[in-house]
Structure 1
């Protein structure tokens, strides 16, 4: 393989650098608490291990690492926010079963064209133990589910918003190009004084001038940005213009690859974007699937095991001849489809979470899947039909819905992460 396995693991879940286990072979004998985070702690060994991993990532990019104290502050802040999300997951009863974890590890190995034994060997060559990799994937899956419950599920996009978007000039452009972006965020606290805002404006101006003078964007992001992706050089991945908050949605199309926007004041602070790459511009024929499902969610009064058993009983009732639609209306906890008998209509598979998409792909038309779990809960689905479409009206509406949801999700996630950080008890003991 040309890339290290640690690089292949990173983008599969949340895009974070590997967390370390407290028990590492090279942990110094003298360990100490570097931060108290609500009901948990962060140890020096965790911080040191993460710093080493970040330094390795920076070195592979050919960039120069910022001063040790700056990097240490950035890494510790990342660990604090991750720790808070893991604590929320623990209090919410979010658990990743060994079966789910084994499936995730198998998927990662398969995507790298490796058997599990080859996968273990490749991890070892990269200096990672298989158990440490499993623990990290488990943490990332917990964080993903926390975000689904606390952020994604409360985002609503109305039909009117979709139609307004499709009728807009910007909406008509969204079936064309996509942009790979990186950002630098200089934060401004909510309710900040004019002096604080002025200081942040001066700081972002200095960063912008350095960029115009040829400074490395990734290195400046690592040293200065408060964005969640700062330690990855600020890279936020591929976005449509409609997924960006104004005025970036209209600014980005005027950039050439490698150029940066001027600093823009947003509710969270000052942001600079860099255009790393463009793609798209042609219409492709895509498969759409007509599918219906029943969703049952674990809750404070219904355990994971009880939820699984309920879905299995519903599966048995359907296979025994009971009407799928009636059972969906009576039992499904998906508010968007329950009243329609669980019908999701024709949908682009890429709009669905991976667990749902994979089961749907392996279920024949007219067939019922066995019960399975996704980030939303336990499902049983039935595939009603498949078709190839070339930007039909329904597909355009679904694409608009996804773009608007992603835009709201990005904004809501950053707001929520700031909120839990501000509300937490954090004591830095460095």
Structure 2
């Protein structure tokens, strides 16, 4: 549909939760590291100070997850590579005028506090108790939002899933939406965008060396932390509990044939060579029939910006609401005034299931009777006027399967496209890695 819907929002402001509290940033490092350079990324430097902060953070996270730490030099190299990728993305965002304004940042922080059931003051006190300054915390949240928006613009918003692809997915994966979940971990031996035969041979040699360590009984998470080129490698390579429709097709195919504790043979993809371990499996088979109360709604969206404040956006919608109450056509005003993709259809969102929209929108929509128009409602996307056109109870089992299939395909495509985009960005970035030169 569009970014109003929460499934498309990924980790944008509304997606942050207690994860930030569970992974505090490191306190300031030793003064001796301050002026030393770890790497140069295009025309910017990554200092030893920045690297030490991230290494300390990664160390604490691995210990919390009971993952055996890789050698210090390996961990430092892995963390630096993540910093390089992050810096390259931030440079691209800045060079293309992508920004996160203070209002968006404040709403994201408010949601973090709300998700942890604490107030802003208590959130700040908790962070400072852990040695994390409020300025440091705000900077990291701003960075996370910026990276999410960059990914949405450069990758996610360009992903298209056709009806034919959904039909083929459902025909080929009759058990895709069972209640069974898999706990998978993986190791990626990353390949450049167009590897030469010599590079492919080096990748195979690395993969065989990794397999030798695993066959010798080394802990998978420790080997992943030490050798994987995937972003989650430094965390032990765990993908968490997922249904098979929520993992890459290559992983899903092999996971079906693995027993808990077993490790796959190395598998090739465009990204490189993968090694997958099935840690555990849970849940039963079958997808239960589902009936839901759906709401037929339409809306008008006014987005805030540097030239349109919250107060002005709200005032504009109050004026539109007054015109609607006095007889103006909601749909015509939506076509003329709404900033949403649904404007061409008079703001019509069709039949909406519970959970399809962000919480602020859903609460306001659910409070309306058919025919009623809401007062202006603020969400992470701007200000809305909402009108409910009707409600019904519907068997959505088949619709749900198609929706899940579309979301699964979109996620798979987006993940692959994001990996390819990151690899291309890394290959086109000038990097002078100075680790080990001193």
> Cα 1:182–1:15, aligned 2, differ >3 Å: closer, same or farther?
farther
TM-score w.r.t. structure 1 length? 0.82
Q: 218, 225, 228: which is aligned to 2:228? A: 225
Counterpart mapping for 1:48-59 below 5 A: 48-59=52-63
SS of structure 1 residue aligned to 2:350:
strand
Aligned residues: 409
Aligned mates of 1:212, 1:97 — CA distance in 2: 51
Residue 398 (structure 1) shift: 1.7
**Which residue is equivalent to 1:4?**
none
Aligned mates of 2:255, 2:385 — CA distance in 1: 40
Residue 362 (structure 1) shift: 4.2
Aligned mates of 2:387, 2:178 — CA distance in 1: 27
1:106 maps onto 2:102 in alignment: no
> Cα 1:213–1:42, aligned 2, differ >3 Å: closer, same or farther?
same
Residue 84 (structure 1) shift: 1.8
Native 8 Å contact 2:181 2:244 kept in 1: yes
1:187 maps onto 2:190 in alignment: yes
Residue 405 (structure 1) shift: 0.9
> Cα 1:318–1:152, aligned 2, differ >3 Å: closer, same or farther?
farther
**Which residue is equivalent to 2:406?**
401
Aligned mates of 2:114, 2:17 — CA distance in 1: 15
> Cα 1:203–1:286, aligned 2, differ >3 Å: closer, same or farther?
farther
> Cα 1:233–1:287, aligned 2, differ >3 Å: closer, same or farther?
farther
Q: 257, 261, 264: which is aligned to 2:260? A: 257
Structure 1, residues 351-380: CA drift from partner, whole Å, max 9, x if none? 55xxx3443234423443635453xx5352
Q: Which ranges in structure 2 are unaligned for 5 or more consecutive residues? A: 1-12
**Which residue is equivalent to 1:83?**
87
SS of structure 2 residue aligned to 1:320:
helix
Aligned mates of 2:428, 2:69 — CA distance in 1: 31
**Which residue is equivalent to 1:204?**
207
1:411 maps onto 2:416 in alignment: yes
**Which residue is equivalent to 1:324?**
330
Residue 311 (structure 1) shift: 7.8
Native 8 Å contact 2:17 2:111 kept in 1: no
Native 8 Å contact 2:193 2:423 kept in 1: no
Higher mean Cα deviation, 417-426 or 56-65?
56-65
Residue 279 (structure 1) shift: 4.7
1:128 maps onto 2:124 in alignment: no
Native 8 Å contact 1:346 1:394 kept in 2: no
Native 8 Å contact 1:187 1:268 kept in 2: yes
Counterpart mapping for 1:20-169 below 5 A: 24=28, 26-28=30-32, 30-166=34-170, 168-169=171-172
Residue 209 (structure 1) shift: 3.5
SS of structure 1 residue aligned to 2:256:
helix
> Cα 1:77–1:297, aligned 2, differ >3 Å: closer, same or farther?
farther
Residue 223 (structure 1) shift: 0.8
Larger radius of gyration: 2
Higher mean Cα deviation, 172-181 or 105-114?
172-181
> Cα 1:323–1:237, aligned 2, differ >3 Å: closer, same or farther?
farther
Aligned mates of 2:164, 2:345 — CA distance in 1: 20
Native 8 Å contact 2:260 2:281 kept in 1: yes
**Which residue is equivalent to 1:6?**
none
CA RMSD after TM alignment: 3.3
Aligned mates of 1:47, 1:161 — CA distance in 2: 43
